[in-house]
Every structure is written in structure tokens, then in C-alpha cells.
Copies of this chain bind each other. A is one copy, B any other.
């Protein structure tokens, strides 16, 4: 569906269900998701969704991923409080990657940094160049899920 319509003009549309049916999920039923702060353009993090997570995210406007380590839906911010509000969800030309433009409360990264991309490769070194906004021990101190 994505490939055969790639030369369609701006404004061309298909039903949402048809688009979701044609996403190229991997063998585990997952698709990669890039999360970007909608106004500043910061690339915040990279995660995965399954069909259920995509539908919940679109329905609720709160970003929900699929946690590969836990094997469950992961409502971003449910334990840290650092939620992502969806501004728009996009699909790429091949239908195999999503771009979630979001409004991120506080840090997106589990380390307490604003985003996950804090290692810069430079010359012959890899250097941390971002500081946590919040101590990660503070982020996860509540053990009752929200």
C-alpha cells in the first residue's frame, strides 16, 4: 500500500485501518518508533510499538510503546510521571518506521537526561555531553505505578 501510493499527490488518503494493516511489522509484530519533541525538534528516544500500542496511542493521545524487555505495553511515564502527549503520528515511505511528534514532560531518558542521545562520537573519543535534568533515583522512587 505504501509503496504503490508513493507517487500520489499531497492530500491523497486511505482509511486508517488500511494503513495500519499494511505496516511492515517485524517478526515480533513490532515497528520502530522515533519520538521527537514537536516544537524544538529534539530527537528524544527510540522505542517500539505493536498494533495495540499504536491504536491506544491514537485513541488516547498519550504515547504507549511496547516494552521488549517486559513483554507488555509501556505507557510512557506510567512509573516516572514523564509522559508524552501525542501531537502527530507519521509513517515513512516504506511503512516500516513511525515518527511520533510529541510533547515530552521533563526527561525522556531513563537516566534523567532530556533525551537518550547523550554520547557524541568525535575524533577518537566517545563523550557524554548532556547532564540529567533529574536524578534518576528521583524519577523512579515511587513504586506504585501511576
Contacts and interface: CB of A to CB of B under 8 A. Distances in A.
A68 B93 CA distance: 16
Contacts of A28: none
B125 A15 contact: yes
Given A41-B40, A128-B8, A46 B119 contact: no
Interface residues of A, number: 57
Among A13, A14, A119: residue with most chain B CB under 10 A: A119
B19 A121 contact: yes
Copy number of this protein in the oligomer?
A: 2
A116 B93 contact: yes
A8 B131 CA distance: 9
B92 A119 contact: yes
Contact of A11 (B32, B95, B121, B127): B127
B46 A16 contact: no
A110 interface: yes
Interface of A: 2, 5-19, 32, 34, 36, 40-43, 45-46, 58, 88-95, 97, 99, 109-111, 113, 116-131, 136
